[in-house]
């Protein structure tokens, strides 16, 4: 039955190669357009810097607000960066080629989201201790902050990518993404700040982290399928 | 007589309450070149997008090697090369980087052939220049270099000669002829007069419009 090329044989070994090739391409693209790379980070720092000026520089007061401020700033910074995830690929036609690949789309979108997370979520997590110091977060809370961001931001990227995939065909998708995705971000925010507050007050963290981990596992399994389906719909119209 | 590669049965498509084509039927066998003709807005690009499987907004049946395309999607994608209106070339990447990613997407392409493919489209010496520094025609050539990489039997080309100079067009026409001689098939749209010696079938979409009952 099979004539010509036999993709089945070629494919099996190459899913990992495809993943690394796509991640490498995304990294290259980001480092050639450094403004895109810096934007969410600058936003993150600005919110945390302006907050004490706007409310009160009182250390006790700021220490109470710190978990929420850092988490909200990280969430909004991620949300702002989401729109660009598929936009440029859509505009220059790369997205069509991506969808016409015989390779599993699951792997491709997962690679794109993973690269995106390294550039936003992971970078935000690494910057968070600095902001936590600025906002007088007690040293006990630092581990909780880092762990909760490390578990929470990948979920934000995965869920945000569904919104980005659904709105990529629209001229002004930016606002719509926020409306679609924000409700789904709320559980992550609640458990994330909860974890930090628990760490500050010396309560056990495990429960919050387990819930964040469960959300991440769920997103990791379901989101790539949803992203792939959403991209097919967006490109089909 | 071998089985047709691509078989289209009773294809119907409308956009914004306007029938672009209906009862469209044709078969494409190995070694055939088919040109889709029609005025601007007659649905050439839409037809190519439907055939490639990008657009699902249509009625009718498309078969690949005798089986419905939806059922053998993976194999169809591996055996088809689609070159769309947009070049699919990232401006921030160099030609070689662009093609390397494409080769990762399409397992039938060998990334070892990339330098040769770039040389054949006349981009030798531009391997490490970011594509935003290239001219429109050169960017298009980066995209066309995929034709030299690919071993897919079916090529679907949407206006492949846009922004390409005369020598370039002649070279691509020669390539299409060679591809057909090797047993490959081509479906293309172009406003350019094709100078391919050998049979070129044409389908005119202007005559199809509004033929529905």
Burial class (CB in 10 A: 0-12, 13-18, 19+), A20: exposed
Cβ contact (<8 Å) for A25 and B101?
Answer: yes
The predicted model gives A143-162 an average pLDDT of 96
Q: What's the pLDDT tens digit per position in B180-211?
A: 999 899 999 988 888 777 778 888 888 765 44
Give the per-residue pLDDT at A10. Answer: 47
pLDDT-derived band at A27, boundaries 50, 70, 90: very high
Give the per-residue pLDDT at A142. Answer: 93
Domains of chain B in sequence order? 1-79+153-213 (3.40.50.300), 87-151 (no CATH)
Dihedral of CA A24/B92/A155/A103: which sign?
A: negative
CB-nearest partner of B77 from A22, A91, A101: A101
The predicted model gives A164-186 an average pLDDT of 89
Is A160 within 8 Å of A188 (Cβ atoms)? Answer: no
Give the per-residue pLDDT at A13. Answer: 52
Give the per-residue pLDDT at B133. Answer: 92
Which of A3, A16, A29, A100 would best serve as a mutation to test chain B binding (most B beta carbons within 10 A)?
A100
Tell me how far apart the alpha carbons of residues A165 and A158 are, in angstroms, rounded to a whole number.
11
pLDDT-derived band at A68, boundaries 50, 70, 90: very high
Tell me how far apart the alpha carbons of residues A195 and A67 are, in angstroms, rounded to a whole number.
9
**First-residue to last-residue Cα distance in chain B:** 34
pLDDT-derived band at A16, boundaries 50, 70, 90: confident
Instruction: Sheet containing B154-158: give its strands across.
Output: B80-83, B154-158, B185-189, B33-37, B200-204
Give the per-residue pLDDT at A148. Answer: 96
> Chain B within 8 Å of A172 (Cβ-Cβ)?
no
**B124 conformational bin, left if phi > 0, alpha if psi -120 to 50, beta if neither:** beta
| Number of CB atoms found within 10 A of residue A229's CB | 14
This model of the complex carries an ipTM of 0.87
Average pLDDT taken over every residue of chain A: 90
Burial class (CB in 10 A: 0-12, 13-18, 19+), A1: exposed
A4 pLDDT exceeds 60?
A: no
A155 compared with B42, residue with greater pLDDT: A155
DSSP string, B129-196: S-GGGS-HHHHHHHHHHHHHH---SEEEEESTTTT--HHHHHHHHHHHHHHHHTT-EEEEE-SSPP--
Structure pTM? 0.89
CB-nearest partner of B84 from A11, A91, A93: A93
Q: What is the CB-side half-sphere exposure of residue B48 using CA atoms within 13 A?
A: 27
Which of A22, A90, A96 would best serve as a mutation to test chain B binding (most B beta carbons within 10 A)?
A96
CB-nearest partner of A97 from B56, B88, B97: B88
CB-nearest partner of B107 from A4, A14, A22: A14
Tell me how far apart the alpha carbons of residues B59 and B97 are, in angstroms, rounded to a whole number.
38
B134 pLDDT exceeds 80?
A: yes
Is B81 within 8 Å of B149 (Cβ atoms)? Answer: no
Is B5 within 8 Å of B28 (Cβ atoms)? Answer: yes
Which of B13, B15, B88, B159 would best serve as a mutation to test chain A binding (most A beta carbons within 10 A)?
B88
Element (H, E) at B114: helix B114-120
Tell me how far apart the alpha carbons of residues A196 and A144 are, in angstroms, rounded to a whole number.
5
Give the per-residue pLDDT at B209. Answer: 58
Is B122 within 8 Å of B142 (Cβ atoms)? Answer: no
> Chain A within 8 Å of B101 (Cβ-Cβ)?
yes
The alpha-carbon gap from B116 to the nearest alpha carbon of chain A, in Å, equals 21
- Residue % of chain A over a pLDDT of 90: 76
Q: What's the pLDDT tens digit per position in B79-132?
A: 999 998 888 899 899 999 999 999 988 888 888 889 999 998 989 889 889 999
Q: What's the pLDDT tens digit per position in A157-169?
A: 999 999 999 999 8
Which residues in A lie closer than 8 A to residue B130 (C-beta atoms)? 32
> Chain A within 8 Å of B82 (Cβ-Cβ)?
yes
A26 pLDDT exceeds 80?
A: yes
Q: Give the domain ranges of chain A.
A: 14-236
Q: What's the pLDDT tens digit per position in B10-32?
A: 999 888 888 888 888 889 988 88
């Amino acid at each position: 039955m099979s004539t010509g090329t036999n993709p089945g044989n070629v494919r099996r070994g190459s899913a990992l190669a495809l993943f690394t090739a796509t991640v490498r391409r995304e990294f290259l693209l980001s480092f050639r357009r450094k403004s895109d790379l810096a934007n969410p980070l600058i936003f993150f720092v600005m919110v945390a810097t302006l907050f004490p000026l706007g409310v009160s520089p009182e250390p006790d007061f700021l220490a109470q607000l710190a978990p929420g401020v850092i988490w909200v700033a990280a969430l909004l910074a991620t949300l702002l960066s989401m729109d660009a995830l598929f936009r440029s690929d859509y505009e220059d036609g790369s997205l069509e080629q991506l969808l016409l690949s015989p390779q599993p789309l699951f792997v491709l979108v997962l690679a794109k989201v993973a690269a995106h997370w390294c550039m936003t979520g992971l970078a935000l997590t690494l910057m968070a201790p600095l902001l936590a110091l600025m906002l007088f977060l007690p040293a006990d809370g630092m581990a909780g902050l880092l762990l909760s961001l490390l578990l929470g931001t990948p979920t934000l990227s995965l869920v945000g990518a569904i919104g980005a995939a659904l709105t990529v065909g629209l001229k002004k998708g930016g606002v719509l993404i926020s409306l679609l995705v924000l409700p789904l971000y709320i559980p992550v925010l609640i458990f994330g700040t909860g974890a930090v507050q628990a760490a500050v007050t010396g309560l056990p963290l495990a429960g919050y982290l387990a819930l964040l981990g469960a959300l991440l596992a769920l997103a990791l399994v379901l989101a790539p399928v949803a992203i792939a389906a959403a991209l097919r719909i967006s490109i089909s119209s | 007589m071998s089985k047709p590669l691509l078989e289209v049965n009773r294809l119907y498509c409308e956009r914004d309450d306007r029938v672009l084509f209906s009862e469209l039927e044709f078969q494409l066998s190995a070694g055939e070149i088919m040109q889709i003709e029609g005025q601007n807005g007659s649905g050439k690009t839409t037809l190519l997008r439907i055939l490639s499987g990008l657009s699902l907004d249509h009625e009718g049946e498309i078969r690949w090697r005798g089986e419905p395309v939806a059922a053998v999607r993976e194999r169809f994608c591996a055996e088809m090369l689609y070159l769309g209106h947009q070049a699919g070339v990232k401006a921030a990447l160099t030609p070689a980087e662009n093609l390397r990613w494409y080769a990762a997407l399409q397992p039938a392409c060998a990334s070892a052939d990339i330098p040769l493919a770039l040389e054949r489209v006349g981009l030798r010496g531009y391997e490490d220049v970011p594509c935003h520094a290239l001219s429109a025609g050169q960017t298009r050539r980066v995209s066309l270099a995929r034709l030299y990489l690919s071993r897919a039997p079916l090529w679907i080309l949407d206006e492949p000669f846009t922004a390409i100079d005369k020598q370039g067009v002649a070279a691509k026409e020669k390539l299409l002829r060679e591809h057909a001689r090797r047993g490959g098939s081509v479906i293309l749209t172009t406003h350019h007069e094709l100078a391919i010696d050998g049979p070129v079938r044409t389908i005119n979409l202007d005559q199809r419009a509004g033929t529905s009952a």
